[in-house]
Amino acid sequence: MSLHETMNELDRLLSHLTKDLVKAFRGNKTAAQRVRTGTINLEKVAKIFRRESVAAEKSGKFKKKGKAEKATVKKAVKKPKRKR
């Protein structure tokens, strides 16, 4: 599988799992079984994704974004106290 296909497969599996999770939460026993088997399939595809994404990162197919600069926080300047 290519990385793009693997990402599409992960997306498909997750969408099916979320639908079945809702049904299982409502008490549907067959949906609960589908969730259990779906998580096994998700685990397998996730391992493939990790392997392919690391390989793609090493080969330069992924463009790494530079670290985002942190926004500078302006500190409140203390005003000098007036003499009374």
User: What is the Cα–Cα distance from 27 to 35, expressed in whole angstroms?
Assistant: 13
pLDDT band at 66 (very low <50, low <70, confident <90, very high): low
Q: Which residue has the higher pLDDT, 71 or 2?
A: 2
In the predicted model, what is the mean pLDDT of residues 41-48? 96
CA distance 58 to 75: 41
Mean pLDDT of the chain: 87
Task: Tell me what pLDDT residue 21 has.
Answer: 96
Q: Do 7 and 42 form a contact (C-beta atoms < 8 A)?
A: no
- The b/e string for 28-45 (b: 16+ C-beta within 10 A; e otherwise) is eeebeebbeebeeebeeb
